[in-house]
Amino acid sequence: MDARSAEIAAGQADELVWLLEHAPLYTAGTSANRADVIDARFPVHESGRGGQMTYHGPGQRVAYGMLDLKRRGPDVRRFVVTLEEWIIRTLAAFNVRGERRDDRIGVWVRRPEKGEGREDKIAAIGIRVKQWVTLHGMALNVDPDLSHFSGIVPCGVHEQLYGVTSLADLGIPVSMPEVDAVLRREFETLFGETYTQTVGRTENDSPSARPARSASSPSR
């Protein structure tokens, strides 16, 4: 990822988005508190992204985006808001209402059936920007083992009102290819046209972003 981002910054490579699933692990962002690791049942990796502790594992779609903000507009906050919108629109395609919160990063789902004020996080966001090229990105819970989150305090959110959820937990039985198709469609609406390529050892079909041309994309 670092090598590719440097090539993008130098104008020697196209922007790229990797879609992948990790083996079970915990990642620590630059603001992580090691006291938030309750049970290190999986490896803990220093990620270099912003944010705190999170979990990645099978059943979770992780999207690492390497996009050139020099060309798209050097506004990190706008980029994060656009990532949130990408997730919200994807969830809406499955009749799930995802929402932003000013005091909590990520995308959240109201859970009134659990009690008043209860909300669960369905997608996490954590990025890094180097030479105005973005790294890392977002993780959407499709059908992961939610018990794996109990080994940490996810994203440093200690309040008992807030937990984690997934599409499967919400009663939405959807496959990863179905999620990927919607992610790609909504990505193109917000960021611009993509094409598919196989990248290195990941052996994933990864949408690689072409220059954004739609009016809804960040300006050049």
**Residues classed as catalytic:** 155
Cβ neighbour number for residue 109 with a 10 Å cutoff? 22
Distance between CA atoms of 209 and 197, rounded to whole angstroms?
11
Reported as type and span, the H/E element at residue 178 is: helix 176-191
Which of 215, 19, 183, 169 has its CA nearest to residue 92? 183
Angle at alpha carbon of residue 16, lines to 15 and 18, rounded to 5°: 165
Beta-strand runs (E) in 161-204: 162-164, 194-198
